Amino acid sequence: IKTVDEMRSVFSALDTDGQGSLSKEELQEGLKKGGWRLDEAALENMFKGLDNNHDGEINYLEWISATLQPQLIDSTRNMREVFDWFDEDG
């Protein structure tokens, strides 16, 4: 799915240390590069909203969950494509 691939690319670009997750600092730097300036409270709220498991990092699954538009996965065919894309054991 093109949109999933685009979101993976964005995530990878934000993940500057290559650890497979985003720190608050990486998110902030990415937002700055994109022209977004958030104060500390807004950044904290955004980060907490993305960090669903509250481990202090945004993993790829949290990122995808937050960034995919619901209408993209509203059909059975699209849901199957998303599932197959994530399915690692076939």
Structure token pair of residue 33: 């590069």
Tokens of 51: 């960090």
Specify the pTM.
0.71
Distances (CA, A) of 89 to 59, 76, 78, 84, 85: 20, 21, 19, 10, 11
> 10-59: per-residue pLDDT in tens?
899 999 999 999 999 999 999 998 888 889 999 999 999 999 999 999 99
pLDDT at 87: 61
